[in-house]
Structure formats: C-alpha cells, structure tokens
Amino acid sequence: MPINTGGISFNESMASAKKGIKEMLLPKGLRARPLDRIPPITIVVNGDPVPAGRPRFTRTGHAYDPKKSHVYKRMVTQEAKLQYKGPMLEHKALRVEIKVYRPIQTSISKLKHKRRAEGLERPIVKPDTSNYLKLIEDALTGIVWEDDNLITDVSCSKYYSDDPRIEVTVTEAGV
C-alpha cells in the first residue's frame, strides 16, 4: 500500500523532515533566518588623520589618552553620530575597512607629489596602521557597534592625498 505524502515525492518529504529536525536541534540563535544582512555603513572623517597615542599615566596610576588622540577620537565619534543614524550593531560578525589618506608633504618635488596623488607611492612611514585602527575601534564603540570584539575581519590601508581624511566602511563579515 503506497504512502500518502500529500502530492510531494518521498525524497522531498524526507528532505523537509531532515530540515525540521536540524532546526529543532540547533540553538535558537543559530537557526536559519531570512537574509537580514546589514547594508554597508560608510563614515568619512575629513582632516589630518591622527593615530591613537600610547596611553599616559598619572602619578596615581590612572591611564588617559594623550590630548591630540583624545580630541581626534571625539571628532570621529561626533562625525559617526552625524553620519550614522541606524541601530547599534550587536551579535553580528563585522568586517571593517579603513582607508587613511595622509596629507602630501609640501617640501617634495612636483613629480613626487604627482606620484603620491595618483597612488603610485604609498606612505611607509610611521604611524602604523594598527594605531589608526585602535583609534577607530574605540571611537565607534557604542555608536556603530556594541563592542569592538564583534570585529572579525579588518583591512587598514594608508594612502597620500591632497584631501586628507579617514574613510571607514563597516559590513557584515562573510561566512
């Protein structure tokens, strides 16, 4: 006697049953959801980029940021609040791409200036990209993302430009 599967094949009904069992076995947060990927978030901070400075300490052992880093971090935070009106990202793996555009020195030849403006010469001098990354991570915590531990993928690049700035692009990390 044939089994009545309601008009679907046996293989289709088995696949459906397996999917249902998998969903029941997975914890609630890991179950398949509709694609709710976040759109790319881009924040641009105009002006000379400032890296995170080494923390300083008072005589009593209290740590604080150097003034220049502190002022720039507040500027990045204010720009982020103006440019990003969405919800704070939480419980998602994030990819952050940072492009640092440093000013071109005025004391170089026209040929070198042109090469740097075209991206043929890149800054290989201090400060390190990691210091820019640290400042951006700290400045955007609590505004764009809940905690910087959500960042799983990072790309940070330095360039020369006549228009110095930092561009930060946040996307959901690929699986």
Rounded-to-integer distance, Cα 10 and Cα 22, Å? 18
Residue 31 or 170, more confident = 170
Rounded-to-integer distance, Cα 159 and Cα 161, Å? 7
Q: Is residue 67 part of a domain?
A: yes
Rounded-to-integer distance, Cα 63 and Cα 30, Å? 39
Q: Is residue 15 part of a domain?
A: no
Q: Is residue 19 part of a domain?
A: no
Q: Is residue 116 part of a domain?
A: yes
Q: Is residue 3 part of a domain?
A: no
Q: Is residue 106 part of a domain?
A: yes
Rounded-to-integer distance, Cα 158 and Cα 65, Å? 23
For the CA atoms of 152, 123, 55, 59, the dihedral, rounded to the nearest 10 degrees, stands at 170
Q: Is residue 96 part of a domain?
A: yes
Task: Give 115-147 pLDDT, tens digit per residue.
Answer: 999 999 999 999 999 999 999 999 999 999 999
Please name every residue paired with 64 in a beta bridge, in sequence order, or none if there are none. 56
Q: Is residue 31 part of a domain?
A: no
Query: Of how many residues is the chain composed?
Result: 175
Rounded-to-integer distance, Cα 26 and Cα 19, Å? 11
Task: Give 73-125 pLDDT, tens digit per residue.
Answer: 999 999 999 999 999 999 999 999 999 999 999 999 999 999 999 999 999 99
Q: How many domains does the chain have?
A: 1
Task: Give 39-75 pLDDT, tens digit per residue.
Answer: 999 999 999 999 988 888 889 988 888 899 999 999 9
Closest residue by Cα to residue 93 from 173, 4, 5: 173
Task: Give 1-17 pLDDT, tens digit per residue.
Answer: 555 555 666 666 665 65
The domain containing residue 103 runs over which residues?
36-172
Report the pLDDT value the prediction gives residue 37, as an integer from 0 to 100.
79
Rounded-to-integer distance, Cα 32 and Cα 16, Å? 14
For the CA atoms of 153, 170, 88, 128, the dihedral, rounded to the nearest 10 degrees, stands at 70
Instruction: Tell me the pTM.
Output: 0.75
